[in-house]
Amino acid sequence: MKMKLEFMLPSMETAYQARKEVLAASVDDKYIHFLAKPGTDLGSLKLATAFEGTNLMHEGERGVLYGAGFGLLAGLYVLKFPPWLTVSPAWYASSPWYVILAITIFVGAISVAIGAALLGVNIFNTDLNVHKYRINNGEILMIVTVPFYRAKKIRKVMNRFCQLR
């Protein structure tokens, strides 16, 4: 199991030194990301991905749940009202009720999940809201993803550079 460790660093120089120390502690560079206020040039530091810096995954998961609910309601609507009262899809006439519900739930879940994820890309990660004020004031957030058993060692290395959050 991997764990995300978040460290606030006061400056770019500190960020470069911290990255160097974490790399020396045998953490691969692909697991070290940085998040700074918009317009900050991070140089050779790897910018946090959309998964880490935004609510892409959180909103996508929520979209699946909402979409499945809407799909269930749509399926029940199609089953409840007779075809002569509403315009039903062509697959409705010869399909069993469980196939109709499965199709509407699946289509609803996928379509709303995609829409919610696209909206989530533009929303700052709610898990990182604790750091938002400090990031906007020029500090840099370092996100290190390590296996659970290595977290203690990385925290010990990073205690020199910043206050753990």
Q: How far apart are CA 116 and CA 60, in angstroms?
A: 5
Average pLDDT over residues 115-134: 74
According to the model, what pLDDT value does residue 151 have?
Answer: 85
Round to whole Å and give the CA distance between 145 and 1. 10
Per-residue pLDDT at 165 exceeds 50: no
Could you give the percent of the chain with pLDDT greater than 90?
Answer: 7
> Per residue in 26-60, pLDDT tens?
888 888 888 888 877 788 888 777 677 776 777 78
The pTM assigned to this predicted structure is 0.64
Q: Can you give the pLDDT at residue 164?
A: 42
pLDDT value of position 87: 65
89 pLDDT more than 70:
no
Across residues 60-70, what is the average pLDDT? 88
Q: What percent of the chain has pLDDT over 70?
A: 84
- Sign of the CA dihedral with 33 first, then 133, 18, and 2 last: negative
What local confidence, expressed as pLDDT, does residue 68 receive?
92
Pairwise CA distance, residues 162 & 78, whole Å: 58
Is the pLDDT at 82 greater than 70, yes or no? no
